[in-house]
Chain A
Amino acid sequence: MSDALLEIEDYSGAFVGETGELTPVLHGVSYRLKTGMMTAVVGESGSGKSLVALSILGIQPPAFERSSGRMLFRGSDLLELDERAMQGIRGAEISMVFQDARAALNPVFTVGRQLADVWQLQHGGSRRAAMTQAIEALRRVSIPEPERRALQYPHQFSGGMAQRAMIAMASLICEPSLLILDEPTTGLDVTIQSDIMELIVELSRTRGLTTCLITHDLGVVAETCQEVVVMNAGRVVETGSAEAIFTRPSDGYTQRLLSASQLVEAA
Chain B
Amino acid sequence: MLDQPLLQVRGLKKTFPIDGGRRLVAVDGVDLEIKAGETLALVGESGSGKSTVARCIVRLVEPTGGDVVIGGDSILGLQPSRLVGVYRRIQMVFQDPNASLNPRMSVRQVLEEPLHLHLYLLRSERDARVRELIEMVGLTPAHLDRYPHELSGGQRQRVGIARAIAVSPEIVILDEPTSSLDVSIRGQILDLLLELQERLHLAYLFITHDLQVVQHVAHRVAVMYLGGIVETGPTKELFADPRHPYTRALLSAAPVARWGVKRTRTRLSGEISSAIDPPDACRLAGRCPFARPSCSDARPPLTDIGGGRAVACPVVIERIPT
In the complex, the answer to whether A219 meets B183 with C-beta atoms within 8 Å is: no
Residues of B within 8 Å of A222, CB to CB, are: 255-259, 261
Secondary structure at the B interface, as helix, strand, loop or mixed, is loop
Task: Please measure, in the bound complex, the distance between the C-alpha atom of A85 and the C-alpha atom of B19, giving whole angstroms.
Answer: 51
Say yes or no: is A218 at the interface (Cβ < 8 Å to chain B): yes
In the complex, the answer to whether B215 meets A264 with C-beta atoms within 8 Å is: yes
In the complex, the answer to whether B184 meets A44 with C-beta atoms within 8 Å is: yes
In the complex, the answer to whether A219 meets B216 with C-beta atoms within 8 Å is: no
Secondary structure at the A interface, as helix, strand, loop or mixed, is helix
Residues of B within 8 Å of A221, CB to CB, are: 257
Stretch at the interface among A66-74, A111-119, A124-132, A241-249: A241-249
In the complex, the answer to whether B183 meets A191 with C-beta atoms within 8 Å is: no
Interface residues of A in 61-117 (CB under 8 A from B): none
In the complex, the answer to whether A190 meets B254 with C-beta atoms within 8 Å is: yes
In the complex, the answer to whether B253 meets A264 with C-beta atoms within 8 Å is: no
Stretch at the interface among A18-26, A201-209, A255-263: A255-263
Task: Please measure, in the bound complex, the distance between the C-alpha atom of A217 and the C-alpha atom of B179, giving whole angstroms.
Answer: 13
Q: A220-B255, A222-B258 are in contact. Are A189 and B183 (CB under 8 A)?
A: no
Q: Which of A218, A223, A243 has the most CB of B within 10 A?
A: A223
In the complex, the answer to whether B184 meets A257 with C-beta atoms within 8 Å is: yes
Task: Please measure, in the bound complex, the distance between the C-alpha atom of A261 and the C-alpha atom of B216, giving whole angstroms.
Answer: 12
In the complex, the answer to whether A190 meets B186 with C-beta atoms within 8 Å is: no
CB < 8 Å: which of A192, A217, A246, A260 contacts B184?
A: A260
Residues of A within 8 Å of B271, CB to CB, are: 158, 160-161, 192
In the complex, the answer to whether A190 meets B209 with C-beta atoms within 8 Å is: yes
Task: Please measure, in the bound complex, the distance between the C-alpha atom of A118 and the C-alpha atom of B213, giving whole angstroms.
Answer: 42
Q: A44-B184, A189-B46 are in contact. Are A263 and B212 (CB under 8 A)?
A: yes
In the complex, the answer to whether B250 meets A191 with C-beta atoms within 8 Å is: yes
Say yes or no: is A49 at the interface (Cβ < 8 Å to chain B): no
CB < 8 Å: which of A45, A161, A197, A266 contacts B258?
A: A266
Interface residues of B in 176-222 (CB under 8 A from A): 182-184, 186-187, 190, 209, 211-213, 215-216
CB < 8 Å: which of B183, B190, B213, B272 contacts A216?
A: B183
Q: Separation in Å of the B40 CB from the closest CB of chain A?
A: 18
Residues of B within 8 Å of A44, CB to CB, are: 182-184
Interface residues of A in 157-171 (CB under 8 A from B): 158, 160-161
Name 6 extra pairs, CB < 8 A, besides A44-B183, A257-B184: A161-B271, A194-B255, A223-B255, A223-B261, A263-B187, A263-B213
A contacts, CB < 8 Å to B: 44-45, 144, 158, 160-161, 189-194, 197, 216-223, 242-243, 246-247, 256-258, 260-264, 266
Could you list some 19 contacts between A and B, CB below 8 A? A158-B271, A189-B209, A190-B45, A194-B254, A217-B257, A219-B255, A221-B257, A223-B261, A223-B263, A243-B259, A243-B260, A256-B184, A260-B187, A262-B257, A263-B187, A263-B190, A263-B212, A263-B216, A264-B216
Q: Which 6 A-B pairs have the closest CB atoms?
A: A219-B255, A246-B259, A189-B45, A218-B257, A44-B182, A261-B257
